[in-house]
Amino acid sequence: MITIDGDFKGSMLGSGRVEKNVAFIELKKDPITIGYIEDHDYNLHFHFMARNDGDVPVNVKFCIGCNDKEDMNQDLGWLWIRNEDQEKYIKEEIDGRMLLPGKYRFELRIAPGSTFISNYIPMDHEEILESIREKALKGGANEISIGKTVEGREIKVFEYVKDKGSPYLLFLSGFHPPENDLIALEAIAEVLSEMNLKDGSRDHFNIALIPIVNPDGYFHNTQGSNTNGINFYWKFFGNTKKECPESHHIWNYCKRIKPIFYMDFHAFTFQGFEPRPYNIPPFIHDKKKRSYLQLKINRSLSKECDADYQWTHRFLLPVKIIAPNLISTGLINEMGTLVSPKFHMHLKYGMDGSKDLVKRCFKEILRILTDEGKDLRSDNKIGSNIRYKVIFGFNKLIYDIMKK
């Protein structure tokens, strides 16, 4: 007999029942976040256990968020699977179908005992955070807390400060728990721990790492929100401090350090994409030097991902990425920060492949800023960035026309 269970650490099961070797499963869901441009449904990820109480393997059809007949228009090519006697999740090619957001169907042969099934790589985030801490301290960083979450967990920052007057570079991750993108900051901490001893190229900058901006979400395995159901990547501004203390503390920290560069990491997990940056139009900045450096950074991140730098993105882009309620938009308009909002690794390349990509990108950014950005200072600004208003207005207009 096959049963479905979600009673284990890291589970993302809403409910599950089995009828004649067909398992019907519902995802554990977050509320949908009303964004500035569109609504954001992050109910995409599953992680559950199938238990076979018999002595022989059984073929099971899994229907997640769907029935066993409906049409699905995309392929689901792999899953991450672990049997009870294995230590690690192993990527297994499958011949599944999906319809996004949130519908999946596939068949698996379930061996006797417990099998853990997931469409992302389940990781122990506390273990990764510990590894980041170890590397950061070795690299000369201080660990500080910048405030507490809804449930009272601390938001940790690792600060590499050489000279308080030097400009800051800010890297963060950990908005959306199943993406486990804090491995990106682990990669950066690794580079910095090696650099500390022999390389002077970070002497011009202070560096701040925030590995988990959403600690409550990670603790509860939400799909992408804090515990009040707010996906504060997409709704960073516009929440009360009670609803989303996380964004308030992070913004206060930004106002304190005024970073000249900001980068935020995410990860694709099962989707049919390749790693890529979400580039913003360079001419959104109101100073020539910044536009020039933004263009350089955009191109170099695209190149590291083997993605074309799309010239159209200088003028036209998915407008949601420059919506006014995003942290990156706030940084551009209030402080003139160069940004890479939402850089996406792809976990299909595993942890090592993804970390290698991040290391290359990080070194490139450091090289570009060391060569030409040493004299950049944040503005105490602005609030009236005309270029932003024009570019956002234009992109929003096109978006509205295309939507009709």
Please report, as ranges, the residues that interact with Zn ion according to CB under 5 A: 176, 179, 266
Measured from the CB atom, the residue of 266 and 320 that comes closer to Zn ion is 266
E strand or H helix that includes residue 338: strand 338-346
Residue whose beta carbon is closest to Zn ion: 266
Q: Which is nearer to Zn ion, 159 or 264 (CB)?
A: 264
Enter the tokens of residue 334: 């209030």
**CB nearer to Zn ion: pick between 12 and 141:** 12
Q: For residue 152, give both structure tokens.
A: 């009272």
CA distance 205 to 166: 5
Q: Are 45 and 100 in contact (CB under 8 A)?
A: no
Exposure class string for 329-342: b at 16+ Cβ within 10 A, else e? bbbbbbbbbbbbbb
Shortest distance (Å) from residue 230 CB to Zn ion: 14
- Minimum Å gap between C-beta 294 and Zn ion is 22
Query: CB of 396: closest distance to Zn ion in angstroms?
Result: 23
Beta bridge partners of 208: 159, 170
8 Å CB contact between 25 and 62: yes
* Distance (Å, whole) CA 320 – CA 336: 19
Considering the complex, state which of residue 80 and residue 168 has its C-beta at the smaller distance from Zn ion.
80
> Between residues 176 and 248, which has the closer beta carbon with respect to Zn ion?
176
* Shortest Å distance, C-beta 56 to Zn ion: 41
Q: Please report, for residues 12, 243, 289, the alpha-carbon distance to residue 168 in angstroms, rounded to integers and kept in the order given.
A: 37, 28, 17
Q: Which is nearer to Zn ion, 30 or 179 (CB)?
A: 179
Backbone angles phi, psi at 188, to 5 degrees: -65, -40
- Provide, rounded to whole angstroms, the least separation between the CB of residue 233 and Zn ion: 6
Q: Minimum distance from CB of 165 to Zn ion (Å)? A: 34
CB-CB contact of 327 with 247 (8 Å): yes
